[in-house]
Structure 1
Amino acid sequence: MKTLKKINVFSILIITFLFSQNIFSQTTKTIIEQDEKIEKLLQEKRKNNSGITINDKFKIQIFFGNIEESKKILLAFKKEFILLDGTIIFSNPSYKVWVGSFKSKIEAEKSLINIKKKYPSAVIIEPNKK
């Protein structure tokens, strides 16, 4: 008789445990509500990122030094060479002025000829080459 009571109590506990798992389990439905403005911002960001020419193979370095001088050199360069874009890159402990975005070395060499007239220390570099 005692074993029968133990079995009944044990079976009730197991049944209760199994049913309680279903009661407290989470549902798998997830509803995400997103504002339209977020999607528009993402599209704008993708469009801007596609214009970044960081993956171009060759650039021309026209200066290596401190930040003040780098800014002056870049401004002077942009006034003289309107069609070529330029940027300042920090390379510890100095700054570099890189100009142009060329897909081939031949393109870079053609521009280098004109740039060397004003900036004799200019060199062709490959920024992504490790």
Structure 2
Amino acid sequence: MIQSHDFFVNFGADFKTMHKLYFILLVIISLAISASAQDVNQQEEESNLYQQLFRQDGAGGNVRILQEKKLDEILLQFMEQGRKLGGIPCYWIRIYSGSSHSARDEAYETKARFLQKYEGIRNDVIYDDPNFKVYIGGYRSKSETLKLLNKIKRDFPTAFIVYDIIDFPVE
């Protein structure tokens, strides 16, 4: 026979357990809703990338940018030009180009000779039928590229600047 004292003790234990379960369920539901809200926010795209720079993200910080209105127009024109080109303007320096039977070996020898003297500079060996070519640099501005060209001209006297369009960086 169940005594009233035992009933309340068991009910109290079950009540505490149920209370914990409800709390855990509430936390799980809250986390799920929060995660789905973040996914929706991350998938939201704006057609104008420039506006994203000035959007407040709710992190609590404020950034104040003082600039001429003309700068906004110039930046938007530059971004539109990049969209039309399908990429970003880039400047390389070609230090070797050859199509002989030994051109591949000569290209890699030129690259090795370059790396012995100039570390940390991007370099690529490209096969552009029928030529092997060695490019260095990959700078966004021509002035940076000219500085590098002047620096290496003694070691690579036939080097010259090549303009290219590269793909937009993937984040």
Which TM class, normalised by the smaller chain length?
0.5 to 0.7
1 or 2 for the larger relative contact order (CA 8 Å, sep ≥6)? 1
Runs (4 or more) in structure 1 with deviation over 4 Å come to none
Name which one, 1 or 2, has greater alpha-carbon Rg. 1
Matches within 5 A, 1:57-96: 57-65=90-98, 66-96=103-133
Give the whole-Å Cα distance in 2 for the aligned partners of 1:81 and 1:55. Answer: 25
- Shift, 1:83, TM fit: 2.3
| Cα displacement string for residues 18-47 of structure 1 (whole angstroms, at most 9, x for unaligned residues) | xxxxxxxxxxxxxxxxxxxxxxxxxxxxxx
Structure 2 match to 1:102: 139
Please, which of 150, 156, 160 is the counterpart of residue 123 of structure 1?
Answer: 160
CA distance in 2, matches of 1:72, 1:124: 20
Give the gaps of 5 or more residues in structure 1. 1-53
2:148 is equivalent to residue 111 of structure 1? yes
Is the contact made by 1:78 and 1:85 (CA closer than 8 Å) also made in structure 2? no
Residues 126 and 72 (structure 1 numbering): CA distance in 2 closer, same or farther, change over 3 Å?
Answer: same
Q: CA RMSD in A?
A: 1.9
Contact 1:63 1:73 in 2 (8 A): yes
CA gap of 1:74–1:106, structure 2 versus 1, over 3 A, is: same
SS of the equivalent of 1:89 reads strand
Aligned-pair CA distance for 1:100: 1.0
Q: How many residues align?
A: 76
The answer to whether the Cα contact below 8 Å between 1:102 and 1:108 also exists between their aligned partners in 2 is yes
Q: TM-score, normalised by structure 1?
A: 0.54
Identity level (%)? 26
Listed as ranges, the gaps of 5+ residues in structure 2 are 1-86, 167-171
